[in-house]
Structure 1
Amino acid sequence: MSLTSHEAPPSPSPESLSTPVPAALPGEALQVLTLAQRTAEEYVAAANKAAQAVREEAETNAEHCRQEAREYAEQMRSEADKLLTAARATAELTHREAQVQAADIRRQAELLLTEARAEAESIVAGGNETAEQLEQRAQRRYEDAVGGLSVKRKALQEQIETLEIFDAEYRRRLMAFLQGQLRALWADQPQAATFPAIELQLPGGPVDTA
């Protein structure tokens, strides 16, 4: 007599339980004990087989969940790397543009100062006062140009610092998100979650991180 993992052993009939059993002879008692032992072994084998099937199914489901979690974490890591690369590229482009503008402003300031000095030297004979006024005007232009360069340099530094803060905050939120997913997985209660969006705010305006 064999039992499958989903079949329960046959139960004794009500008639067999209600019918009085005559006193068994020693040989018959041995047969009854043998039959009872065989029935018990079949029950145990069926229970072990069912438990093994449940265990294998649970292990399969757990491995599937772990695989999905690893794939999702890898996808999040890839997207974070892309966002960080784009932010760094934007910062590098802004830095280069600021350097070009600073060099242009410096050249213009030097040209203005040179022209002013040449003009001042040409009219020295006409009066030192006029030459002094031109010199002061040229100096103010030079200082204004240099001051504008300092402002641009400060703005660029603020953008770089903002990008660094964005990098640290994004990694922190990504780690918290992945830890929450792993905790939900180990609790056998996987929950779908969305990764929180982060908007990078620069002095010149927000940067699209999509």
Structure 2
Amino acid sequence: MIVEINPPHGARIKAMQGVIATAPDGSRWILHGGRMSILRAHISEDQFDRSSSMKRVDVRFSDGSIAKYLPVANIDTSFRMLQDQMWAFVAECRRVRVHYSLGAAAAKQDQAVLNAEKSFPEPVGSYHVGPQAARKVKRQHGPVWHALVALLDGLNVRHSNSRVGRWGPDLRTIGNTPILFEIKVTPDASDIQRGIGQLFLYEKLLGRSHRKILVLPRRANDLDR
């Protein structure tokens, strides 16, 4: 997900959501108006406020006008704190977008996943990968995914493949009886074990019982036909 912040060059420009302002203690802050776009719709500032716990602050512009904005990050703090503050705002924007595109229940699940993953920072350091010979790879996962999406669309079932924190379930339905789908293009034991584990992991992160479906080819060469 990308959150773009475009600060105006001078006085307030209502179309621009991004602002850089100085706090009373002299620190410089990035702020945002909260207006966003989702598929075939827009999220207004009021809608953002109704679904978010973030508090706005007054920003005085050079022309004397005052408007309320959401504080995003302190530019003058440490780079780690700046990164954390930016990440928190991006996560909140994602949650609000999910709220208005998939519903409050999906947004609550998304927030639960983000809260759970705060204890799992990204790895650091380096590792070595040796050279590999060139090879041609046939994409097999995509056609299966598109066929499954077409089937769900034909049944008028709402679905999403948005990430669950840092994890990526292939598909999940949205509704009173949600379903998780995990696609594996080979029926190998390792893929089956991995797929089952992924389904239970996603369910645990989402914090709600799901029907779990592992999609497999009947035979090893089914996808080559």
Greater CA radius of gyration, 1 or 2?
Answer: 1
TM-score (normalised: structure 2): 0.18
| Greater relative CO (CA pairs within 8 A, separation 6+) | 1
Higher strand share: 2
TM-score (normalised: structure 1): 0.19
Higher helix share: 1
